[in-house]
Amino acid sequence: MIKFQAAHRTHVGLVREHNEDHIEVWQPNDDGDGLLGVVADGLGGHAAGEVASEIAVRHVLDAYQANGTDDIGTILASAILRAHDEILEHAGADPTLHGMGTTCTAVALTDGKLYVAHVGDSRAYRWRSGLERLTRDHTVAEALVSESVILPEDADNHPGAHVLTRALGMAERLQIDVLDPPEPIEEGDAILICSDGLTGHVSDAEIAEALQTMDPNAACDHLVQRACDGGGQDNISVAILRADG
């Protein structure tokens, strides 16, 4: 029987005054089946970003905890859309929140399957026999990769690497990426979700090594420290969900 363990951390970084990230992990029972992780990286500055990211995470947690027999991917995507609507409503009603938005990436490990729903540039990775990115950044740079204008290896250093093309609160209509169909979970799988405060400073090779060699708590601490060592230019949030025998 596969059991699950998880850990998460968030850090303001070394430059920002406020932490606009929000990250949560929910484990419903002792063996961890049904584990959920969700991260949101708020946009809009100070309180506005914090409000938006909190709204996103709250909606996903509430919807997942109350889920019935619906498809988990649909539950996660619908919750993100409801959060999007609430963010637009708040931004329209309060001038101090105008322009706020957030990314949102949610993963669930339940009934032997992995579910992912995603908007923005907060990423999900899986370590199995190697490191695999499960999400595609919704950024100008990634769009240029898709159009074969730039090479994939040049995307992270492109001026458009952090210019979002899609996020909650950005436009009236929002498209959610969902892993479809959900994929089987295998013993030893490690899933990482994070804000770009991590991936802006920590390489895929360093992420892979941490997931392969460390337990979730140690890996979270290590990766946050590596991001700070690299400059800590942004808020840093990371969660690791691991399937063990």
pLDDT computed for residue 68 by the predictor: 64
Instruction: Kindly state which CATH superfamily the domain 3-244 is placed in.
Output: PPM-type phosphatase domain (3.60.40.10)
Average pLDDT over residues 55-59: 98
pLDDT computed for residue 245 by the predictor: 66
pLDDT band at 69 (very low <50, low <70, confident <90, very high): low
Residues 97-111 have pLDDT tens digits of 989 999 999 999 999
Residues 160-207 have pLDDT tens digits of 778 899 999 998 899 999 999 999 999 999 999 999 999 999 999 999
Q: Which residues contact 3 (CB under 8 A, 6 or more apart)?
A: 31, 32, 243, 244, 245
Give residue limits of the domains in the chain: 3-244
Average pLDDT over residues 88-105: 94
Q: Which residues contact 145 (CB under 8 A, 6 or more apart)?
A: 151, 152, 155
Average pLDDT over residues 85-96: 94
Cα–Cα distance measured from residue 109 to residue 185, given in angstroms and rounded to the nearest whole number: 8
Cα–Cα distance measured from residue 84 to residue 173, given in angstroms and rounded to the nearest whole number: 9
